[in-house]
């Protein structure tokens, strides 16, 4: 079953704007990861946040985690056309020490 | 260094035929995962290999699906008597060890179309 659910399903913005995507999950986790998938390609790992962390930054990416609300957000600042892709959250833990459970993704379109 | 390699990149076959998909993980990665991704959907876990341990086959959707990993490296996913609902992208990923705290590294997938 899918644990992570991303919101919105699709997002269209202009270059230079910020993009925020959300992920909600149902069971306890030990970490949450975000991945990007360009059309026709595999997933690329972006960032991992552990359950005892609240915020993490990597370049133009900012991830927050609220375990009390079982939710996470991914913020991409100063977006570029090359950021156009699908973004997936994946949760680790929740009964397995090796599986990740992926959501259905948010399709981000950045218009030049 | 080389990433995860999958072949073929595309496969079109007739209903009822058998297909074999190949995954070559990153050298030194002991954990290997297979996923299925249907159009516009997330990833559905199929099977997990870790070293020489017995694989976790809990995600295989039917007994028509099987997978093996030889020598702890290359893996093949076999689908027998293919059905139209098997049409999807099959993704392989590897990680340094079988730990959900590790990032997974994905190949570009095999796009399977059953006519």
pLDDT value for A64 = 98
Angstrom distance (rounded) from CA B97 to CA B75? 16
> Which residues from chain A sit within 8 angstroms of residue B91, using beta carbons?
42-43
For B47-65, what is the mean pLDDT? 94
8 Å CB contact of B4 and A42: yes
Angle at B46 between CA B40 and CA B48, to 5 degrees: 130
For A59-72, what is the mean pLDDT? 97
Q: Which of B30, B35, B95, B100 to mutate to test the interface with A (most CBs of A within 10 A)?
A: B100
pLDDT band at B13 (very low <50, low <70, confident <90, very high): very high
pLDDT band at B1 (very low <50, low <70, confident <90, very high): low
User: In this complex, is the C-beta atom of A50 within 8 Å of any C-beta atom belonging to chain B?
Assistant: yes
Helix (H) or strand (E) holding A100: strand A96-102
8 Å CB contact of B106 and A33: no
pLDDT band at A3 (very low <50, low <70, confident <90, very high): low
pLDDT value for A93 = 84
Which structure tokens are listed for B41? 């959907």
Q: Which of B93, B103, B108 sits opposite A41 (nearest CB)?
A: B108
């Amino acid at each position: 079953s899918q644990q992570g659910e991303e919101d919105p399903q699709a997002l269209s913005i202009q270059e230079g704007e910020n993009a925020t995507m959300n992920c909600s999950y149902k069971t306890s986790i030990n970490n949450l990861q975000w991945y990007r998938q360009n059309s026709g390609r595999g997933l690329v790992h972006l960032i991992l946040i552990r359950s005892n962390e609240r915020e993490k930054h990597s370049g133009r990416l900012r991830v927050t985690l609220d375990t009390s609300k079982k939710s996470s957000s991914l913020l991409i600042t100063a977006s570029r056309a090359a950021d156009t892709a699908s973004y997936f959250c994946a949760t680790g833990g929740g009964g397995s020490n090796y599986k990740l459970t992926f959501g259905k993704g948010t399709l981000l379109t950045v218009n030049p | 260094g080389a990433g995860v390699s999958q072949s073929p990149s595309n496969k079109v076959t007739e209903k009822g035929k058998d297909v074999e998909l190949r995954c070559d993980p990153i050298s030194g990665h002991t954990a290997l995962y297979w996923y299925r991704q249907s159009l516009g959907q997330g990833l559905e876990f199929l099977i997990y290999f870790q070293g020489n341990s017995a694989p976790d086959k809990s995600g295989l959707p039917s007994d028509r699906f099987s997978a093996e990993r030889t020598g702890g490296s290359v893996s093949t996913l076999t689908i027998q008597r293919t059905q139209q609902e098997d049409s999807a992208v099959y993704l392989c990923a590897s990680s340094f060890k079988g730990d959900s705290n590790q990032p997974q590294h994905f190949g570009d997938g095999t796009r399977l179309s059953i006519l």
